[in-house]
Amino acid sequence: MNNLNEKEKMLSGEMYDATDELLVQERNLCKDLCFEYNQLRPSKIEERKALIKNLFGRTADNFHVEQPFYCDYGYNIEIGENFYTNVNVVIIDCAKVTFGDNVFIAPNCGFYTAGHPFDVLERNKALEYAYPITVGNNVWIGAGCSILPGVTIGDNTVIGAGSVVTKDIPANVLAVGNPCKVIREIRDL
């Protein structure tokens, strides 16, 4: 018998109830922090940085998150050194979302760890699952990309604008499309 609570199920990749009281509370707290962050004047760099350090599970020293920015929990997000996101980035971090060093994310990108069952009866019970997303070092993600649950993107890779990344993408490549596929290797490293 499974004795895990809904948060433990979420973090372990099992099906969980997204309407669980603790999870709703944690999402509301996170959304309040995102609201506060998005209301800060852009020139308030230190206040913005402090709020992100409080929100994310791990940060490096040098990072910049443009406004607006949205996430579900915050504590499942880990960023490396020289991390940059442009405007309108959404991270649905029901599972861990890990970014390496020197990651650049263009506007209107989404990182979605959560998914829902195909079975309509399970889906209508507010059940979902979450699988981690990992982005390596020196990765550039073009505008309007969607990164789906369970995906790993290798070091030194470029994901072309508008891509929907449904499967792992190896290191040192240019990948683009829906679904995202490797176009060529990047050799000039």
Cα of first residue to Cα of last residue in the chain, in angstroms, is: 51
Residue 3's pLDDT is: 87
On whether residue 63 sits in a domain, the answer given is yes
Residues 40 and 58: beta-carbon distance below 8 Å = no
On whether residue 5 sits in a domain, the answer given is no
Poorest-confidence range of 45-49, 122-126, 144-148, 165-169? 122-126
On whether residue 4 sits in a domain, the answer given is no
Q: Is the pLDDT of residue 1 over 80?
A: no
Residues with Cβ < 8 Å from 165, sequence gap 6 or more? 145, 146, 147, 148, 151, 153, 159, 175, 179, 180
What mean pLDDT comes out for the span 39-62?
97
What mean pLDDT comes out for the span 16-45?
97
Q: Is the pLDDT of residue 160 over 70?
A: yes
Residue 187's pLDDT is: 83
Domain count, the chain: 1
Tokens 């490096």 sit on residue: 60
- Annotated catalytic residue: which of 116, 117, 131, 170? 116
Q: Is the pLDDT of residue 2 over 90?
A: no
On whether residue 178 sits in a domain, the answer given is yes
Q: Is the pLDDT of residue 33 over 70?
A: yes
On whether residue 6 sits in a domain, the answer given is no
Domain of 163, CATH number, reads 2.160.10.10
Residues 111 and 90: beta-carbon distance below 8 Å = yes
Residue 24's pLDDT is: 97
Closest to 131 in 3D by CA, of 85, 167, 104, 88? 167
Q: Is 64 a catalytic residue?
A: no
On whether residue 132 sits in a domain, the answer given is yes
Residues with Cβ < 8 Å from 21, sequence gap 6 or more? none
On whether residue 36 sits in a domain, the answer given is yes
- Domain range for 137 is 13-185
On whether residue 3 sits in a domain, the answer given is no
